[in-house]
Structure 1
Amino acid sequence: MSGLNIEELSKDDEIILWAGLGGMITSRVEAVRIEEDGQVFVTCEELEWADLTAPIGTEVELA
């Protein structure tokens, strides 16, 4: 896994987002927008969600 600054993300990059309560979301970047004040907004498509708090082998239903 390589590290990028958020400003270096491009369309179709795959990234991992760490969600609260022990979740991990693998996503594909759809768009990156950098505002004049330096704020960065990333729009992603969710590819896969994993519950990292569940014991190994637990089947998890996604909504």
Structure 2
Amino acid sequence: MPFARFAEGRMAVNPGSVGMPYGRAGAHGALLGPGVQPRVTDCDIDAAIAHVTEDSGFPGAAA
């Protein structure tokens, strides 16, 4: 689960995951600079499923 908070006087940041997102689909990350800016790159799940099903060549991809 993505978070940014202070712990024992230090900033602790877990920006999330690209491959196993928590919550909405997409690549989760954070831009660090002064402060923390959470970022999410949207993902069209239906288009990704169609691509894998039609173009992957893996047997049983539709399952």
Identify which of structures 1 and 2 has the higher relative contact order when contacts are C-alpha pairs closer than 8 Å and 6+ apart.
Answer: 1
Give the structure-2-normalised TM-score: 0.33
Taking structure 1 as the reference length, the TM-score comes to 0.33
Pick the structure with more helix per residue: 2
